[in-house]
Amino acid sequence: MFIGAAPGVGKTFAMLQEAHLLAAKGRDVVVAWVQPHGRPLTQEAAVGLEMVPPLRITYRGLEVQEMDLEATLRRHPAVALVDELAHTNVPGGKHERRWQDVEELRQAGIEVWTTVNIQHVESLRDVVERVTGVAVRETVPDPVLDSAEELTLADMTPEALRKRMRHGNIYPIERIELALNSFFRESNLAALRELAIWYVVQHESRTGHEPSIQGVRDRVLIVTSCGIYAPGLIRRGTRMGQRLRAPVTVLAVSPRPPSPGQLEKVQGLAQDLGAEFRLETAARPVEAALQVARELGATHLMVAAEPTESKGGPGAGVVGGLLGDLGDRHLHVIGRRLGKVNLRSDGDRPDPATLLAGLDAGVVRGSLRLYLGYAPGVGKTTRLLEEALRRQRRGADVVVAAPSGAPTPTTEFLLSQLKVVPSPATGGIDVDGILQRNPSVVCVDDLGLRDLQTGRPRYQQVWRLQDAGINVVATVGVIDLPGFEAVREVLGRFRSQEHGDHEAVPQEALERADEIELVDLPPTELRDRIRSGWVTAPVDVGSALQVFSEPLLEELRASALRIVATHTERRRARYAGTVGAHGLWPVQERIMIALRPDRIDQAGPLLEAGLLAARREDASLVVIAAVSPRPDPAETRQLERLAGLCQRHGVRLEPLQLAGGVAETLVQWAEQHQVTEIFMPAPRRRRRLPWDKPVALSVIERCRELDVHILGERALPRATSLSGAGPAPS
């Protein structure tokens, strides 16, 4: 599956390119359906591949083309390329949706390559609609997407995609301004790109073959009504189930039966997401929910933080009732990304602005665009040269300086069509020669190479070009970045050394970059390239396969995805104040673990739960303990023990002086520090006076916009799970 953030990022093009490589190896590859949308590069990429003629259907007086499923089944290739997985077929065909066609091809033993945009992932539909304000009308069930054996990210920065659109490479000219001011706003594209990146990371995590180390099998129970918050809650709950690798049950409970329309919508969504659905009509929703939880052996309960979901829904008393009898279960009260979406119509769009005004005015320093590769051999040099050729065809004065890496037929062909400035034999860049020529764009391969004569690394030479007002497009490898020294020593010996020595590229290079794009390739595909001799010399293939192990490549790939996501988040500061995704889907979750000095017995499991969640979500984490302004000796000793426990877990305890009640102090601190999730222990079971409210319940009532995770008494996986192999509690 080739996944992208939006139309036009190059999913179909990447799929067709890979198909040519596969066909060159002798595999039987057929294009069952491709939709070029009139894009010349996509049409060119399809030339030379066998195609199944489309099925022509007359619908409402018009001739429409669709994939010919029966013809593809009769042809029965080894690999079938099927574009646009989320497409809805013309009525009257065998299946309503294209993903159903794909499932039939797979059942017939045909390997399928397909494309999809992040907006079409069913479990993310609510997030996408809130981010973009545009209704998503076609989705693919998560179980279908989870069954993909390989996932490739077709990455493109928002700036690059908008440039492609202005050049007429995506939509006809008459649609460009409307698209740029609506779905293709930079803020939308940045948020969708982050979603796509993290979806790939989480897909690899939840579909990998990690051994389970849990002593108790998890099960998620979503307690909801059939009201307006149900779809968002169900999607959040199924995403949790995916991370936990746990079955999910949706329990719709209310005093009165829902309307047939509401019931059908909620039940259909649960089934599309692979969850079991149960309907209970009960005068006492809490008792009904607890009964179902006991019956199923549910370990995680999920409810909405809103006081009521709809008239007759579970209501605010559900949270308090579940807290009172939580036992070994964990309660997740979800306050974010559940609201009813107010979708804007085209008539509500802002008036088209002058999109190009000021974009290039007053530029002093040239821009820097980086192609990031997670390992040698993924194809970042090819991407660099393809971009150079695209810009040259558009009339830009482009030169290529210092191409690196082992030459391949593809790179040699691309270089033959480009203007190349010969590089010094010492491995650097002829900066003076380039400055005399004064091109608008310079392409530089491999920022980590060092000029042996001057001792200057290429990234410093690139900065000289930028300072002269020249735009630079360059490549960099993850293994050349800080923190990857050990991997660089191991993998670096398999890349070409004829252009000079390598050295570490500082973090400053990433911070200077205006755009960073990931050159993605599944680890299995990279290993196939190594076997074919495209990455190393034939004599080194055996040893390279041992070093380029799948676990190592998967870890490097995840690191590269995180680097790109973090850079995108920083760039999104440019779009502050625009209508878009700000605050709806933060790249980095911020988790707060709220410990109590007098509850040292629950501190360990709570810390491990928060650490697991932080590792899974790549979140920042802070551990808080509320203490009196003047603690007595007993409280001081408790705090010291708690601090020592935190230190053993590799985190630091932050004492927080009480300013009023405990709940009020915690919530105020969380809001000031933009916390997105709070982990707390369950209240102790004891008789309470009517006005004596548990701290956890008070926090939940004050945190309608946060997620609050209340951990029950069940012991969580301990130190062995901190490697990240175990499931996260949220």
Q: Please give the radius of gyration of the chain, using alpha carbons only, rounded to the nearest integer.
A: 28
Mean pLDDT over all residues of the chain?
80
Provide CB contacts within 8 A for 375, sequence distance 6+.
477, 478, 479, 491, 526, 548, 553, 556, 557
Note the pLDDT of residue 574.
55
* Per-residue model confidence as pLDDT tens digits over 659-669: 778 888 888 88
Range of 174-188, 270-284, 334-348, 595-609 with top mean pLDDT: 270-284
From 560, 567, 473, select the one nearest 519 (Cα to Cα). 560
At 609, the pLDDT band (50, 70, 90 cuts) reads confident
Note the pLDDT of residue 322.
86
Structure token digits, residue 51: 């195609």
Q: Report the C-alpha gap between 213 and 209 in whole angstroms.
A: 12
For residue 324, the SS3 value is helix
At 77, the pLDDT band (50, 70, 90 cuts) reads very high
- Counted residue by residue, the chain has a size of 730
* Per-residue model confidence as pLDDT tens digits over 617-661: 656 788 989 888 888 888 888 889 888 888 888 888 888 888 778
Looking at per-residue confidence, does 325 or 708 come out higher? 708
Note the pLDDT of residue 714.
57
Note the pLDDT of residue 19.
93
**Is there a contact between 622 and 611 (Cβ–Cβ < 8 Å)?**
no
* Per-residue model confidence as pLDDT tens digits over 497-519: 655 678 889 988 888 898 999 99
Q: Report the C-alpha gap between 204 and 222 in whole angstroms.
A: 25
For residue 614, pLDDT over 50 is answered with yes
Helices 230-244 + 125-132 axis angle, to 10? 130
From 301, 155, 279, select the one nearest 223 (Cα to Cα). 301
Looking at per-residue confidence, does 180 or 144 come out higher? 144
For residue 80, pLDDT over 90 is answered with yes
Note the pLDDT of residue 687.
53
Strand-pair category, 79-82 with 62-66: unpaired
Lowest mean pLDDT: which of 57-71, 234-248, 515-529?
234-248
From 253, 325, 246, select the one nearest 289 (Cα to Cα). 253
Looking at per-residue confidence, does 98 or 424 come out higher? 98
pTM over 0.75: no
Provide CB contacts within 8 A for 420, sequence distance 6+.
399, 400, 401, 403
Q: Report the C-alpha gap between 170 and 662 in whole angstroms.
A: 55
Note the pLDDT of residue 204.
67
At 85, the pLDDT band (50, 70, 90 cuts) reads very high
For residue 33, pLDDT over 70 is answered with yes
Q: Report the C-alpha gap between 730 and 720 in whole angstroms.
A: 18
For residue 149, the SS3 value is coil
Average pLDDT of span 410-421: 88
Average pLDDT of span 281-310: 82
Return the C-alpha torsion angle 459, 444, 570, 238, nearest 10: -130
On the 0-12 / 13-18 / 19+ scale of CB atoms within 10 A, 174 is: exposed
* Per-residue model confidence as pLDDT tens digits over 541-552: 898 899 899 889
Per DSSP (E only), the strands in 282-359 are 300-304, 330-334
Note the pLDDT of residue 686.
56
Note the pLDDT of residue 69.
95
Average pLDDT of span 84-101: 92
* Per-residue model confidence as pLDDT tens digits over 310-359: 444 444 578 888 888 888 889 999 876 564 443 333 333 222 222 222 33
Note the pLDDT of residue 553.
92
Q: Report the C-alpha gap between 589 and 567 in whole angstroms.
A: 15
* Per-residue model confidence as pLDDT tens digits over 297-306: 899 999 987 6
What are the distances in angstroms from CA 429 to CA 444, 452, 462, 471? 8, 11, 9, 15
For residue 452, pLDDT over 50 is answered with yes
For residue 556, the Cα-to-chain-centroid distance in whole angstroms is: 15
Note the pLDDT of residue 580.
36
Looking at per-residue confidence, does 366 or 342 come out higher? 366
For residue 413, pLDDT over 70 is answered with yes
* Per-residue model confidence as pLDDT tens digits over 93-130: 889 999 999 999 999 999 999 999 999 999 888 888 87
Q: Which domains are seen in the chain, by residue range?
A: 2-207 (3.40.50.300), 220-334 (3.40.50.620), 368-548 (3.40.50.300), 590-723 (3.40.50.620)
Note the pLDDT of residue 718.
33
Which secondary-structure segment (H or E) carries 593?
Answer: strand 590-595
For residue 670, pLDDT over 80 is answered with yes
Note the pLDDT of residue 466.
87
Backbone torsions φ then ψ of 88, nearest 5 degrees? -95, 125
Note the pLDDT of residue 340.
45
* Alpha helices for 469-599 (secondary structure H): 485-491, 507-512, 523-531, 541-547, 550-571
Note the pLDDT of residue 139.
92
Give the residue carrying structure tokens 């979406």.
341
Average pLDDT of span 690-709: 78
